[in-house]
Amino acid sequence: MPMLIIYLAVLVFLVIASISDLKTREVPDWLNYGSIGIGIGFNLIFSLVYLDYSYIIRSLIGLGVTFVLAYLLFYTGQWGGGDSKALMGIGALLGLDWNFYKLDSMPFLFSFLINILIAGAIYGLLWTVFLAVKNRKKFAKEVKDISNKKSVKRIKMALLILALIALAASFFPMQFNHKILIFGSAITLYLTCYMWILTKAVEKSCMQKYVLPSKLTEGDWIVNDIKVDGKRICGPKDLGIEKEQIKNLISYYRAGKIKKVLIKEGIPFVPSFLMGFVVTLVFGNVIGHLIS
């Protein structure tokens, strides 16, 4: 019964958070912090009702593990602040059981984190394709502009030469599987450059926009350094703008010293949490089952 309540709470939280992320590209702090509080509160109540303090201990361990993971992903620029806090809320709700021995019998939280990798990769690819198709004219222009840069042309030529060398090497006498490996490596090597071009084109044509400083929210990614009177206010190295920086930008905007700010919109990633959670409920640890 307690886990049924927990699973239902996580599902409701992720549905609301996913809708918010898709509509506004952010998950409000009240929802994220609320999920953390509810997770700790529910597990504390279960511990008192059932006289089993493992509930609250698991909740705190789950919160601690997801906090470390979220901190690393945020400060390496992989996730936004809302995604990181949402993960912490899930960790507090689900908790983490420290007693596990086999890959296919991992705690639910670990299976969920593993399944996020799969769901996130598929979801990210589909979302990128969707953006490219939706903004196909701007996307095509960016692909052309990036491809025509001298530095990119040099890289493409160098990779083509390396790919041809690898391809030629596959014709030497050797086992068939080695030929396939070398041939596949040659193709992958050459296609890597094009994948990078397409990714950058999607980012520049579909994931950047100008906003008023008053519309900025904490954690937004600034594309270019913003300087006023020779002093740097914020920029891409900040890994998310802070409240004090937003206040300064609003003041400078009112004073006519800056205009709109170019920000990078990340992929609304919380829906992949929902996908990963549903997959874990239905199938458990997908990778574990495949290996077994």
Mean pLDDT, rounded, for 130-145: 88
166, two tokens: 């690898």
Q: Can you tell me the distance from the alpha carbon of 43 to that of 76, in angstroms, rounded to the nearest whole number?
A: 31
> Whole-model pTM?
0.74
Contacts of 144 (CB under 8 A, 6+ apart): none
Q: 115 and 177 in contact (C-beta within 8 Å)? A: no
Question: Residue 198 — pLDDT band, cuts 50, 70, 90?
Answer: confident
Which of 52-61, 159-168, 183-192 has the weakest average pLDDT? 183-192
Considering only CA atoms, which of 255, 233, 230, 252 is closest in space to residue 242? 233
- Residue 104 in this model has a pLDDT that exceeds 60: no
Range with the largest mean pLDDT of 61-70, 103-112, 236-245? 61-70
Mean pLDDT, rounded, for 178-192: 73
Mean pLDDT, rounded, for 153-179: 77
Question: Residue 291 — pLDDT band, cuts 50, 70, 90?
Answer: low
Q: Where are the alpha helices (DSSP H) in the chain?
A: 2-24, 29-50, 54-75, 81-94, 108-134, 136-147, 150-169, 176-206, 243-254, 270-283, 286-291
φ, ψ (nearest 5 deg) of residue 262: -85, 120
195, two tokens: 């994948």
- Residue 102 in this model has a pLDDT that exceeds 50: no
- Residue 40 in this model has a pLDDT that exceeds 80: yes
* pLDDT on residue 103: 47
Q: Looking at the DSSP assignment, which residues form a beta bridge with residue 262?
A: 210
Q: Can you tell me the distance from the alpha carbon of 239 to that of 222, in angstroms, rounded to the nearest whole number?
A: 8
Q: Sketch the domain layout of the chain as residue ranges.
A: 1-99, 134-206, 208-264
pLDDT in tens, 236-264: 877 678 888 889 899 988 988 888 888 88
